[in-house]
């Protein structure tokens, strides 16, 4: 059985498309659990209609108050729903018909290789589309210049490679997420760090869903190779410094939650990363090189060196 967890907020324009894409999956042994973050539009009415049509398939609940971020909704859902496998789902995307089948096939391959009790994370690429599902870019991975092979903890402390809405977690991994941290940048970043420390990760170069871009995206797709984007980032150095500082805070929170489960080497690595703000510039650069805390791509490495 698979639990598909959906976070909604003012998604009346898109949630029906997403739910229809779930109902049209080639693999159907799943249940959908939607949590709404106090929408002010007709999202709840749409959810009620689908629940009435599919009472044993689609369920929904509502937050007592608006949390301010989808990451809080997803953490609530992940703490409430533990199943053989868990998949995360955004309200405004559309899944390709074989998304579950592809992820489950890879998950079973990984479980056969590493054991059913081993925490495992499977994730995939996405096709980027506009509001009307017209193609923008066939590969979000290429658009973002991401590298799915960079799944070791030293790399993930500084850079996330997981797009949460593509992920499938097995129960041993889901059980390791047993509280919402006081701070994390995004829930998917937290998930992949947990998987890296305690299990195995498989990133597939397969596009399993349509990643819809519209004016209300909480997190959108950007072409990092675009010169205008690079110039804009360079002109906002405070944003870069803030983003880097957030990774140190996130690392500290990760250590606080999992220190008793981490190996001595993992604890030392995280402590080294957390220490970066307190070092001299030369010491910072030396530590980045020695522990390979660098992000991928030349432009990202240069930004790190400039603004740490």
Instruction: For residue range 178-207, list pLDDT tens digits in order.
Output: 999 999 999 999 999 999 999 999 999 999
218 inside domain: no
If you average pLDDT over residues 136-143, what whole number do you get? Answer: 97
Angle between helices 298-307 and 237-258 in degrees, nearest 10: 90
**Using CA atoms, how far apart are residues 24 and 18, in angstroms rounded to an integer?**
10
Report, in angstroms and rounded to the nearest whole number, the Rg of the chain calculated over CA atoms.
19
If you average pLDDT over residues 277-303, what whole number do you get? Answer: 96
pTM of the model: 0.93
* Same-domain check for residues 147 and 61: yes
Number of domains the chain is built from: 2
Place of tokens 């675009």: 226
- For the CA atoms of 138, 143, 149, 151, the dihedral, rounded to the nearest 10 degrees, stands at -120
Q: pLDDT tens digits for 244-262?
A: 999 999 999 999 999 999 9
Contact in structure between 125 and 139 (CB atoms under 8 Å): yes
If you average pLDDT over residues 155-165, what whole number do you get? Answer: 98
* Same-domain check for residues 198 and 240: no
**Using CA atoms, how far apart are residues 266 and 272, in angstroms rounded to an integer?**
10
If you average pLDDT over residues 9-16, what whole number do you get? Answer: 97
* Same-domain check for residues 48 and 181: yes
| Res. 231 pLDDT band, cuts 50 70 90 | low
- Residue 285 parent element (H or E): helix 281-291
Q: Which residues have a Cβ under 8 Å from the Cβ of 191 and sit 6 or more positions away? A: 121, 162, 164, 167, 169, 173, 177
* Same-domain check for residues 181 and 261: no
- The pLDDT score that the predictor gives to residue 214 is 82
- The pLDDT score that the predictor gives to residue 274 is 98
Domain that holds residue 132: 2-212
Percent with pLDDT over 70 in the chain? 93
Contact in structure between 137 and 211 (CB atoms under 8 Å): no
Indicate which CATH number applies to the domain containing 67: 3.90.550.10
Q: pLDDT tens digits for 46-75?
A: 999 999 999 999 999 999 999 999 999 999
222 inside domain: no
Please list the residues that pair with 87 across neighbouring strands: 4, 168
217 inside domain: no
* Same-domain check for residues 233 and 273: yes
* Same-domain check for residues 165 and 287: no
219 inside domain: no
Q: pLDDT tens digits for 76-95?
A: 999 999 999 999 999 999 99
* Same-domain check for residues 82 and 168: yes
If you average pLDDT over residues 290-306, what whole number do you get? Answer: 95
* Same-domain check for residues 186 and 278: no
**Using CA atoms, how far apart are residues 274 and 248, in angstroms rounded to an integer?**
5
**Using CA atoms, how far apart are residues 3 and 81, in angstroms rounded to an integer?**
7
* Same-domain check for residues 162 and 247: no
């Amino acid at each position: 059985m698979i639990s598909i967890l959906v976070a909604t907020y003012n998604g009346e324009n898109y949630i029906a498309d997403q739910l229809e894409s779930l109902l049209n999956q080639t693999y159907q042994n799943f249940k959908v659990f939607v949590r709404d973050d106090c929408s002010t539009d007709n999202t709840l009415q749409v959810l009620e209609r689908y629940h009435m049509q599919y009472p044993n398939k689609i369920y929904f609940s509502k937050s007592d108050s608006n949390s301010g971020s989808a990451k809080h909704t997803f953490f609530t859902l992940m703490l409430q729903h533990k199943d053989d496998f868990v998949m995360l789902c955004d309200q405004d995307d559309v899944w390709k018909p074989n998304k579950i089948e592809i992820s489950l096939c890879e998950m079973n391959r990984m479980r056969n290789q590493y054991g059913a009790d081993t925490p495992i994370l499977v994730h995939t690429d996405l096709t980027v589309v506009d509001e009307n599902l017209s193609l923008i870019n066939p590969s979000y991975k290429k658009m973002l210049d991401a590298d799915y092979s960079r799944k070791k903890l030293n790399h993930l402390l500084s850079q996330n490679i997981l797009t949460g809405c593509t992920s499938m977690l097995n129960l041993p991994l889901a059980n390791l997420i047993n509280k919402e941290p006081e701070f994390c940048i995004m829930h998917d970043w937290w998930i992949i760090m947990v998987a890296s420390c305690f299990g195995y990760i498989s990133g597939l170069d397969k596009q399993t869903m349509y990643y819809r871009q519209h004016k209300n995206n909480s997190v959108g797709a950007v072409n990092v190779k675009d010169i205008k984007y690079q110039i804009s980032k360079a002109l906002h150095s405070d944003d870069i410094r803030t983003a880097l500082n957030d990774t140190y805070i996130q690392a500290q929170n990760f250590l606080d939650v999992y220190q008793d489960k981490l190996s001595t080497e993992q604890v030392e690595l995280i402590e080294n990363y957390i220490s970066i703000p307190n070092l001299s510039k030369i010491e910072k650069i030396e530590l980045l090189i020695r522990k390979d805390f660098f992000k991928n791509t030349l432009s990202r490495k240069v930004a790190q060196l400039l603004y740490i």
